Amino acid sequence: MQEVIKVEQLTKSYGALTAVDHLSLSVDRGTVFGLLGANGAGKSTAIECILGTRKADSGSVSILGLSPEADRRKLFERVGVQFQEANYQDKITLWELCQVTAALYRKPADPAALLDKFGLSGKKRCPVTELSGGQRQRLFIVLALIPNPEVVFLDELTTGLDAKARREVWNILSDLKKQGVTIFLTSHFMDEVEKLCDRICILKKGRAVFHGTVSEAIKNSPCNQLEDAYLWYTEEESEHESI
Ligand X SMILES: Nc1ncnc2c1ncn2[C@@H]1O[C@H](COP(=O)(O)OP(=O)(O)OP(=O)(O)O)[C@@H](O)[C@H]1O
List residues binding ligand X (CB under 6 A). 14, 17, 19, 37, 39-45
Q: Nearer to ligand X by C-beta: 17 or 113?
A: 17
CB of 100 to ligand X, least distance (A): 27
The length of the chain, given as a count of residues: 243
Question: What separation, in Å, do the N-terminal and C-terminal C-alpha atoms of the chain show?
Answer: 20
Please identify, using beta-carbon distances, which residue of 19 and 151 lies nearer to ligand X: 19
Burial environment of residue 7 by CB neighbours within 10 A (0 to 12, 13 to 18, 19 or more): buried
- 130 vs 236, which CB is nearer to ligand X? 236
Contact criterion met (CB below 8 Å) for 155 and 44? yes
Per-residue burial over 159-169, b if 16 or more Cβ lie within 10 Å, else e, is: eebeeebbebb
**Judged by CB, which is closer to ligand X: 14, or 125?**
14
Q: 205 or 240, CB closer to ligand X?
A: 205
Q: What letter represents residue 205's amino acid? A: K
Whole-number Å distance between alpha carbons of 39 and 36: 10
Least CB distance from residue 117 to ligand X, whole Å? 27
Q: How far is the CB of 141 from ligand X (least distance, A)?
A: 17
Nearer Cβ to ligand X, position 36 or 98? 36
Give the distance, in angstroms, between the CA of residue 220 and the centroid of all CA atoms in the same chain. Answer: 25
Rounded Cα–Cα distance for residues 68 and 75 (Å): 7
The distance of closest approach from Cβ of residue 44 to ligand X in the complex, given in angstroms and rounded to an integer, is 3
Output b/e per residue, 72-95; b: 16+ Cβ within 10 A.
Answer: eeebbebbbbbbbeeebeeeebbb
Nearest distance in Å: CB 200, ligand X: 14
Cβ proximity to ligand X: between 177 and 205 the closer is: 205
Rounded CA-CA distance 51/46 in Å is 9
Q: How far is the CB of 220 from ligand X (least distance, A)?
A: 22
**Minimum distance from residue 103 beta carbon to ligand X (Å):** 30
DSSP 8-class letter at 183: E
